[in-house]
């Protein structure tokens, strides 16, 4: 699959959120990663469906990749579907009945993603593989931007890649946490095709230069 770069707006300037999204899209972002935290499943609080709805109302027609870090997840899925999410990802620990949760997302017309924390084994990937459009490997513990990349995540990406290829369905493989220009190629070589980057992009002075540098690294990785 082609490589997607997904800036996480967690590291954007929220006082100018619309301008920030316009800027990363103009700089070459493929999708916008929208981190939703509830101070319960993770120890931080961010944004909800009203923000997505208002971005849609303002005319943003880009692909919104919504990463739910909320428990219970089901209660908010309808709101995010109504708000215009293109893809909604959930953590298996955030719901009692994962099959039902993923079905709610798909039946509502969005793509479904399944997220694995650094210490969460991939078992649910096998059980839910027919129901998902994306698997997301966390390369930090969820909750905050700007954390250090956990190297062992690369092995988990490679294992997820094997399982996805064996199943034959067109499932994207995303990595989230601590992705920078310096390590994005390693993630691609391990098998990821979708790269979330928050602080690396929004913390840089020049979004276009940073995204271009990431694409340059990804191009080199593909050529290997």
Only one of the segments 16-24, 103-111, 137-145, 157-165 lies at the binding site for ligand DX5 (rule: CB under 6 A); that segment is 137-145
Which position among 20, 65, 133, 176 is part of the footprint of Zn ion (CB under 5 A)? 176
Stretch that binds ligand DX5, among 57-65, 122-130, 196-204, 215-223 (CB under 6 A): 196-204
Active site residue 193: no
Residue 33 near ligand DX5 by CB under 6 A? yes
**Residue 138 CB, nearest approach to Zn ion (Å):** 8
Structure tokens at 184: 């994005």
DSSP 206: -
Q: Work out which of 3, 49, 67, 211 binds ligand DX5, going by CB under 6 A.
A: 67
Minimum distance between the CB of residue 168 and ligand DX5, rounded to whole angstroms?
Answer: 28
The conformation of residue 14, written as its DSSP 8-state character, comes to G
Q: Which is nearer to ligand DX5, 10 or 85 (CB)?
A: 10
**What is d(CA 115, CA 194) in angstroms, rounded to the nearest whole number?**
13
Q: Is 128 in the site for ligand DX5 (CB under 6 A)?
A: no
CB of 198 to ligand DX5, least distance (A): 3
Backbone angles phi, psi at 182, to 5 degrees: -70, -20
Residues 6+ apart with CB under 8 A from 204: 210
Cα angle 51, 52, 57; round to 5: 95
Catalytic residue among 30, 74, 133, 176: 176
| Rounded Cα gap, residues 216 and 176, in angstroms | 19
Which sign does the torsion angle of CA 9, 10, 13, 16 carry?
positive
- Nearer to ligand DX5 among residue 119 and residue 165 (C-beta): 119
Contact between residue 80 and residue 49 where contact means Cβ atoms under 8 Å apart? yes
Q: Which stretch binds ligand DX5 (CB under 6 A): 5-13, 23-31, 104-112, 120-128?
A: 5-13
Where b means 16+ CB within 10 Å and e means fewer, 188-213 reads bbbbbbbbbbbbbbbebeebeebbeb
Asked if 114 interacts with ligand DX5 (CB under 6 A), we say no
Q: Which of 9, 27, 34, 35 binds Zn ion (CB under 5 A)?
A: 35
Q: How far is the CB of 134 from ligand DX5 (least distance, A)?
A: 14
Tell me the angle at which helices 17-26 and 207-223 cross, rounded to the nearest 10 degrees.
40
Using CB under 6 A, list all residues that contact ligand DX5.
8, 10-11, 33, 35, 67, 140, 142-143, 145-147, 176-179, 196-200
Catalytic machinery residues: 35, 176
Using CB under 5 A, list all residues that contact Zn ion.
35, 67, 176
């Amino acid at each position: 699959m082609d490589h997607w770069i997904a800036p996480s707006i967690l590291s954007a300037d929220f006082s100018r959120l619309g301008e920030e999204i316009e800027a990363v899209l103009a700089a070459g972002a493929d999708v916008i990663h929208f981190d939703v935290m509830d101070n319960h499943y993770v120890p931080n609080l961010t944004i909800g469906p009203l923000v997505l709805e208002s971005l849609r109302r303002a005319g943003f027609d880009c692909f919104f990749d919504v990463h739910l870090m909320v428990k219970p997840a089901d209660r908010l899925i309808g709101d995010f579907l109504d708000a215009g999410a293109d893809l909604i990802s959930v953590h298996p620990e955030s719901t009692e009945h994962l099959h039902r949760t993923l079905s709610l997302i798909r039946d509502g017309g969005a793509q479904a993603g399944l997220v694995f924390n650094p210490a969460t084994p991939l078992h649910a990937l096998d059980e839910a593989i027919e129901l998902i459009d994306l698997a997301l490997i966390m390369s930090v513990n969820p909750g905050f931007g700007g954390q250090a990349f956990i190297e062992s995540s690369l092995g988990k990406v490679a294992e997820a890649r094997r399982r996805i290829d064996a199943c034959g369905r067109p499932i994207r493989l995303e990595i989230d946490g601590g992705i920078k220009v310096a390590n994005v190629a390693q993630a691609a070589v391990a098998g990821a095709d979708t790269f979330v980057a928050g602080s690396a992009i929004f913390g840089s002075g020049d979004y276009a230069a940073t995204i271009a540098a990431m694409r340059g690294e990804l191009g080199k990785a593909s050529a290997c």
